[in-house]
Amino acid sequence: KNVWVYARSYFGKTVIVVFNRNTEDKEITVKLPKMFIGKKYNTTFNSQFNLSNDMLKINVKKNGVEVLVEK
C-alpha cells in the first residue's frame, strides 16, 4: 500500500524507481526481473542500497523516492 517499485529498460538504459509513502524510513526488499540482474546502478538521491543476485535492498526515507540509474 505505501511502497511502490517499478523498473524500466529504455534504449539500452535501465532505471529502477522506488517510492516510500510511509511516515518513517523503510528498508525495502524487492526481487528484480532477470533483465535487471548483473548491472551496476547509481543513486539519484543517495539512498543506501545493496544488490545481491536478484534481490535489491534499499533504504528510502519517509515519504521519499529513489531512482537507480544504470551506470
The string of DSSP codes covering 20-56 is E-SSS-EEEEEEPPGGGTT--EEESS---EEEETTEE
β-partners of residue 30 are 56
CA 55 to chain CA centroid, Å, is: 10
Q: What is the pLDDT of residue 27?
A: 97
pTM (2 d.p.): 0.90
Query: Residues 4-16: what's their mean pLDDT?
Result: 90
3, pLDDT greater than 90: yes
32-58, pLDDT tens digit by residue? 988 888 899 999 999 999 999 899 999
pLDDT in tens, 12-37: 889 999 999 999 999 999 999 888 88
